[in-house]
Amino acid sequence: MRDLIAVGDLAPDFTLPDQNNRRVNLAALAADRQVLLVFFPLAFTGNCEGELALIRDREPEFDNESLTTVALSVGPPPTHKVWSSAQGFLFPLLSDFWPHGAVAQQYGVFSEQHGYPLRGTVLVDRDRRVRFSDVAEPGAPRDETVWERALSLA
């Protein structure tokens, strides 16, 4: 795992498919508003479900005129489609499936040992500069204060 992307760094651009197989591009999103990138290990797991449910349940804080939120993991779009439909996740779940975890690697949140991203949270501004970055230790849930700290900068 490389070092976590630092505040002030230029966020690497990417285009990934969402759960509906639509292509989502970071630069295009950031041109309109700030973007909160929420990396998660795997769909259909308890901690990930709880964290993304928090975003779903507090949608106006995570998707508004100044901020949009996308979640990223290595699962394929069909898996994300089934999971998002079952959980009512309306925000994009992006598939960093192939090359396996390439975007997570660029952001320094990919665990080579586990083969999936750790719980990384990165806020990107309209100039694609990183305003906030945090990653939980392997196996650890995201500290709930991470949401408040990231949202306070959005």
Residues involved in catalysis? 48
Q: Shortest CA distance to 24 belongs to which of 83, 89, 68?
A: 68
Separation in Å, CA 81 to CA 18, 37, 52, 72, 107 = 8, 18, 14, 13, 24
d(CA 72, CA 21): 13
Query: Tokens 């999103």 label which residue?
Result: 29
